[in-house]
């Protein structure tokens, strides 16, 4: 196998290459999403919310903002988790306008039983990489995610102002 790096000749080539690489990466998550659904009947977005709540109770608005979920989407997601008894909602003691969610014991048990990435091609590929390669790719992905989040925040601010 050859690892050949070819410099993009035009700025639009590098833009298209990045967008294609991103879409290729997104398809890698499909197997994980299927695995999580079969193991726990949870979507990846639901798992992301539960993992955040597993660290500490949080205001729903804060989680929605951090995960870039619109308020109606966040409400539906939380409704489903609450109906299953996986989280609880309650008004914040200090600020009654805020709704805080907490992971229930049942939610913690279910979350700990999900086999995240174990035995997947993603995990094996990462394990086989050199640490320097993992660090380089991690930094690039974080930089890309931050750039997208920055644009999303700016677009949201424009929408709110309008």
The answer, yes or no, to whether residue 152 has pLDDT greater than 90, is no
User: 15-117 belongs to which CATH class?
Assistant: mainly alpha
Query: What's the pLDDT tens digit per position in 62-120?
Result: 998 888 888 889 999 999 999 999 999 998 888 888 889 999 999 999 998 887 778 88
Query: What's the pLDDT tens digit per position in 22-31?
Result: 999 989 888 8
- Return the percentage of the chain with pLDDT > 70, whole number: 90
Task: Please give the model's pTM, rounded to 2 decimal places.
Answer: 0.71
Sketch the domain layout of the chain as residue ranges. Answer: 15-117, 129-162
Quick one: pLDDT at residue 2? Answer: 43
Looking only at the bridges linking them, the beta strands covering 58-59 and 87-91 are: unpaired
Q: Residue 120 to residues 86, 127, 132: CA-CA distances in angstroms?
A: 26, 11, 21
Q: Residue 17 to residues 8, 13, 20, 107, 128: CA-CA distances in angstroms?
A: 9, 6, 5, 40, 25
Cα–Cα dist 93/87, whole Å? 18
- Mean pLDDT (whole number) for 116-130: 88
Q: Would you say the C-alpha torsion 56, 94, 100, 82 has a positive or negative sign?
A: positive
CB 126 within 8 A of CB 69: no
Q: Which ranges in the chain belong to alpha helices (H)? A: 11-40, 44-55, 60-66, 71-83, 105-113, 121-128, 131-161
* Residue 4 pLDDT grade (very low, low, confident, very high; cuts 50, 70, 90): very low
**Worst-scoring range by mean pLDDT, 39-48, 67-76, 147-156?**
147-156
The answer, yes or no, to whether residue 54 has pLDDT greater than 60, is yes
Q: How many residues are listed for the chain in this entry?
A: 162
SS3 of residue 59 by DSSP: strand
* Residue 8 pLDDT grade (very low, low, confident, very high; cuts 50, 70, 90): low
Cα–Cα dist 157/62, whole Å? 16
């Amino acid at each position: 196998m050859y690892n050949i790096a070819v410099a993009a000749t035009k700025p639009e080539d590098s833009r298209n290459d990045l967008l294609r690489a991103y879409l290729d990466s997104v398809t890698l998550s499909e197997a994980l999403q299927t695995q999580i659904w079969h193991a726990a009947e949870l979507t990846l977005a639901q798992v992301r919310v539960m993992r955040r709540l597993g660290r500490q109770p949080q205001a729903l608005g804060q989680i929605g903002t951090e995960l870039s979920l619109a308020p109606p989407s966040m409400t539906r997601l939380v409704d489903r988790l609450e109906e299953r008894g996986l989280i609880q909602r309650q008004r914040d003691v200090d600020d009654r306008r805020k709704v805080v969610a907490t992971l229930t014991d049942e939610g913690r048990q279910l979350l700990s039983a999900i086999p995240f990435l174990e035995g997947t091609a993603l995990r094996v590929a990462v394990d086989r990489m050199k640490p320097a390669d993992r660090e380089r790719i991690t930094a690039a992905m974080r930089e890309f995610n931050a750039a997208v989040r920055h644009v999303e925040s700016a677009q949201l601010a424009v929408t709110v102002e309008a």
